[in-house]
Amino acid sequence: MQKKTVAFSKESSNLFFHILTRCNLSCAHCYINPDQHGRNTLSIDTIRRWLDLFSKNAPHTNLIFLGGEPTLHKDLSTAVKHARNRNFNSITIDTNGFLFHNILEKITPADVDVISFSLDGATSATNDAIRGQGSYDAVISGVHQARQKGFDCAMIYTVSDKNLHELSKMPDLVASLDIQRFFIQVIGMRGKSVTGGTHQVSRDLWLSVIPNVAETIAATGITVTYPKVFLEQGEAFSCAGIVADNYFVFPNGRVYRCPLCEDYPLHAYTIEDNTLVPSPPVNETHLFDLSIPEGCVINKIIQPGNLDYLPDGSPAHRIACCMLKQEISRSV
């Protein structure tokens, strides 16, 4: 088994492109905040222009189409083909599984590198309580349809106190679906999670469950990725906002560099007249350089509940950048 920390760097860029915020589901932990991200659906002409705006570094950029639910956009297939023509390094569609507008009939495996399905429970009872009635069956059916057509598929499982108990059941399910990658996410305390009664699990629970399940799944030949979350003793903190080029683009033109900031008007840039315009102070970029014993300063400001302290007031552990990942794959 090979286990490594996936370091971020300036050589690799990620473009998380939310082409709309509308969705047919109402997930308990949805991070979309229409007041901050907009309620509009981008026209295909705007999508093309915004893709062109980020295309100078396209051969080194991984593009992810998101929503809301991106397959609700009638022109998603056109957007995907335009991105392929601009030579983006990889193209992913993140979907809830309903696959609207017959998207699988309008694109081919040559157009998109990965279709990534969100599933938050090993059973329909748990998943549907979080994501919405019928979503479990939609994902299972969607994965089978996509694999039959030759698409590479991934799955995302967002861990919270509502579904941690079923994560140990996922290895058998994942193995039966013939997917290529499995992503374990930690729930972000933003959007609906802040007020919806869905909570992150403790550090001890995370460390006692996540790595073991990841290794079990990786042993079947599926690559597993999950966030580092907690730095080890003596491990240096590094902020992706400084070291990497990640852009989180929303339909109202806001462009963030850190996903933790997305509930607030702290965006680094705004797209105006198809130009990336820096936001005036104070924005998220002014926080990236700050150094604190807790590690991530934005986590300290926005999600202080993640931190525990020793009697002397020092942090019991340090929080890693949310973009820092662990990857496990079976040795060849």
DSSP string computed for 6-18 = E---TT-EEEEEE
Question: What is 2-329's CATH number, 3.20.20.70, 3.40.50.10490, 2.60.120.330, 3.40.190.10?
Answer: 3.20.20.70
pLDDT digits (tens, 9 = 90+) for 75-113: 999 999 999 999 999 999 999 999 999 999 999 999 999
* Cβ(25)–Cβ(134) below 8 Å: no
Residue 302's pLDDT band (cuts 50, 70, 90): confident
Which tokens hold the place of 1? 């088994």
Contacts 24+ apart (CB under 8 A), 210-214: 210/159, 210/167, 210/184, 211/326, 213/167, 213/168, 213/170, 213/171, 213/184, 214/182, 214/184, 214/326, 214/328
Tens-digit pLDDT profile for residues 123-182: 999 999 999 999 999 999 999 999 999 999 999 999 999 999 999 999 999 999 999 999
The C-alpha atoms of residue 308 and residue 84 are separated, in whole angstroms, by: 45
DSSP code of residue 288: T
Give the pLDDT band (50/70/90) at residue 62. Answer: very high
Location of structure tokens 């991984």: 62
What predicted TM-score, i.e. pTM, was given to this entire model? Answer: 0.95
* 206-217: pLDDT as tens digits: 999 999 999 999
Rounded Cα distance between 332 and 328, Å, is 12
